[in-house]
Amino acid sequence: MLKTGLTDLLGIEHPVLLAPMAGVSGAELAASVSAAGGLGLLGGGYCDSAWIRQELDALRGKRFGFGAITWALDQDPNVLDIALSYGPEAVFLSFGDIAPHAGKVRDSEVKLIAQVQTVDGAKYAADQGADIIVAQGTEAGGHGGARATLPLVAAVVDAVPDRPVVAAGGIADGRGLAAALMLGAQGVLVGTAFCAAEESLAKPGAKKIMETASGDRTIRSTVFDIARDKDWPKDWNLRTLRNDFTDRWHDDPAAMLPDVDTIRAAYTSAMDKGEFNEAAIIVGEAIDLVHAVEPAADILQRIVRQAEDRLAGALTFLRTP
């Protein structure tokens, strides 16, 4: 059994957190990950309060965390009050300044998890009272920064030695968990592997594509944010699978702007119809490690079992001179 500072702090069995993926990590997936011994984080995303209330109602009486995009939360701070009223184990904030919200989370005696993409960001989050720091590498699906997971995690561990650090980005099996622990992290945040879970809100057609997709075919770009009318700050862009849409627009996103309303309408239609030659499938480089649509509990248990096996066999690399 893997026990770390993260499992102790959160009172969980396994050092695995569900990434609070917008449009993917709903109540069913969050509850399943928590029931299997990790911590499931509801993906509050762009802070649609009606949807969040609906999902939080479904989580009453269950262990869960709540995650939101920080710059979207700035536009509707009442969403944080709603989430806190349901008694989450933790609040997860990423992509923006956590300072305006940190005090409210601390006052509620709820753990504050801050996701960062730089060492300076980790130091700042610790100064603002974050209990847990997630170091997210650029291999991650969805929005992220520019630094790779392995060196970033190690540097963040050194920079904030008094906080549990969680590794994120490119981790979808037990080898990634074992590697993260060897870097000094206390656990992992997993997104892509759970995106293909049975309980995920991703569309069935997208999950089918994930089963045979390759990280070689992912790309970081701004074009889907333009198509979805999401005004993301320039520090972060979006990793997805390549498709006809990215092939058409990635090299010159500005070319979308003269006819952007028509492009947005066509994109919305493609997403509604599940036409993923045009609509985004938001996954990370670890998509190579996803081979089937499975229950979230099976995914989590396999990650933990694989990590235990890897760590137990680590002494075989040591040789007596």
Whole-model pTM: value is 0.96
Distance CA 230, CA 233 (A): 9
Distance CA 301, CA 305 (A): 6
Query: What pLDDT band is residue 318 in, cutting at 50, 70 and 90?
Result: confident
Please report, for residues 195, 219, 250, 253, the alpha-carbon distance to residue 247 in angstroms, rounded to integers and kept in the order given. 23, 10, 6, 11
Q: Quick one: pLDDT at residue 319?
A: 78
215 and 152 belong to one structural domain: no
Task: Give the model confidence (pLDDT) of 296-308 as tens digits.
Answer: 999 999 999 999 9
Cα of first residue to Cα of last residue in the chain, in angstroms, is 31
CATH of residue 89's domain is 3.20.20.70
Q: What is the SS3 string spanning 96-138?
A: CCCHHHHHHHHHCCCEEEEEECCHHHHHHHHHCCCCEEEEECC
Q: What's the one-letter identity of residue 94?
A: S
Residue 151 maps to a domain: yes
Task: Give the model confidence (pLDDT) of 210-251 as tens digits.
Answer: 999 999 999 999 999 999 999 999 999 999 999 999 999 999
Residue 1 maps to a domain: no
157 and 61 belong to one structural domain: yes
Q: What is the residue range of 258's domain? A: 204-273
Give the other-Cβ count within 10 Å of 278's Cβ. Answer: 17
Residue 282 maps to a domain: no
What secondary structure letter does DSSP report for 225?
A: H
Average pLDDT value over all residues in the chain: 97
Query: What pLDDT band is residue 282 in, cutting at 50, 70 and 90?
Result: very high
41 and 163 belong to one structural domain: yes
162 and 37 belong to one structural domain: yes
Task: Give the model confidence (pLDDT) of 160-193 as tens digits.
Answer: 999 999 999 999 999 999 999 999 999 999 999 9
149 and 222 belong to one structural domain: no
249 and 185 belong to one structural domain: no
Q: Quick one: pLDDT at residue 241?
A: 98
Question: Shortest CA distance to 211 belongs to which of 188, 193, 237, 185?
Answer: 193
Residue 5 maps to a domain: no
Query: What pLDDT band is residue 274 in, cutting at 50, 70 and 90?
Result: very high
Structure tokens at 199: 């309980």
Distance CA 77, CA 129 (A): 19
53 and 120 belong to one structural domain: yes
Residue 92 maps to a domain: yes
182 and 132 belong to one structural domain: yes
Residue 269 maps to a domain: yes
Q: Report the number of distinct structural domains present in the chain.
A: 2
75 and 213 belong to one structural domain: no
196 and 250 belong to one structural domain: no
H or E stretch at 188: strand 187-190
Q: Quick one: pLDDT at residue 250?
A: 96
